[in-house]
């Protein structure tokens, strides 16, 4: 009887350990691949838009949003992603007007409102560029579980950052993510049923 109880207890302890290790591995993988972990994504923010106006998340309430983190000196990922977002808006037709893309810089030292304005308008006037103080950018990146870091490059620097596009519902809650390598057709296919909901 005691032996059976001991065996059962050992099985329960082993199951708990396996589950704990699995969860830790998932969190470790999320950090290593710069993917968001299974926690709340998004939240309040206070930033400055491309016209120099202070804005908060409340200014975009009631709209479907695409939130993407990058920087204007980005050599490949950012221009490619913004170009794909622009093509996605066009592919969606009138539904594209229900979608508000927000491009948030991870390089506030160089990305002034003026720099953001000229950059995003080269892709699509429906894309809003947002910048802020280093503390404000750190706070919004943390809320979205977005990774970024400064990387020295000779006498200059570049930025390493996550490449996911966050799809946020009109109520401000996280819906899903789009990948950097999704084509405009794939993005439009994923977004269309969401936008048709209203």
From the list 182, 179, 194, 174, the residue with the least C-alpha distance to 38 is 174
Distance CA 195, CA 192 (A): 5
Minimum mean pLDDT range among 17-31, 38-52, 91-105, 170-184: 17-31
From the list 67, 189, 86, the residue with the least C-alpha distance to 129 is 67
Q: In the predicted model, what is the mean pLDDT of the chain?
A: 86
Is residue 35 predicted with pLDDT exceeding 70?
Answer: no
CB-CB contact of 191 with 89 (8 Å):
no
Distance CA 60, CA 39 (A): 22
**Residue 151 banded pLDDT, cuts 50, 70, 90:** very high
Look at the pTM and tell me if it is higher than 0.85.
Answer: no
**Residue 40 banded pLDDT, cuts 50, 70, 90:** confident
pLDDT for position 197: 87
**Residue 102 banded pLDDT, cuts 50, 70, 90:** very high
Distance CA 111, CA 120 (A): 11
Q: What are the extents of the domains in the chain?
A: 1-33, 46-195
Give strand pairing partners of 158: 151
Distance CA 136, CA 23 (A): 30
Is residue 114 predicted with pLDDT exceeding 70?
Answer: yes
The answer regarding whether domain 46-195 maps to CATH 3.40.30.10 reads yes
């Amino acid at each position: 009887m005691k032996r059976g109880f001991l065996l059962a207890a050992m099985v329960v302890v082993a199951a708990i350990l396996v589950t704990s290790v699995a969860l830790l591995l998932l969190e470790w993988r999320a950090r290593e691949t710069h993917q968001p972990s299974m926690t709340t994504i998004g939240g309040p923010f206070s930033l400055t838009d491309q016209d120099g106006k202070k804005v908060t998340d409340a200014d975009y309430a009631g709209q479907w949003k695409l939130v993407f983190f990058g920087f204007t000196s980005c050599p490949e990922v950012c221009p490619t992603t913004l170009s794909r977002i622009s093509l996605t808006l066009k592919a969606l037709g009138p539904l594209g007007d229900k979608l508000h893309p927000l491009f948030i810089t991870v390089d506030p030292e160089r990305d002034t409102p003026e720099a953001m304005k000229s950059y995003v308008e080269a892709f699509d006037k429906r894309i809003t560029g947002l910048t802020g103080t280093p503390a404000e950018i750190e706070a919004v990146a943390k809320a979205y579980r977005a990774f970024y870091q400064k990387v020295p490059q000779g006498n200059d620097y570049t930025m390493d950052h996550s490449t996911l596009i966050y799809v946020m519902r009109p109520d401000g809650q996280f819906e899903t993510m789009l990948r950097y390598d999704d084509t405009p057709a794939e993005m439009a296919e994923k977004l269309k049923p969401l936008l048709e909901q209203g």
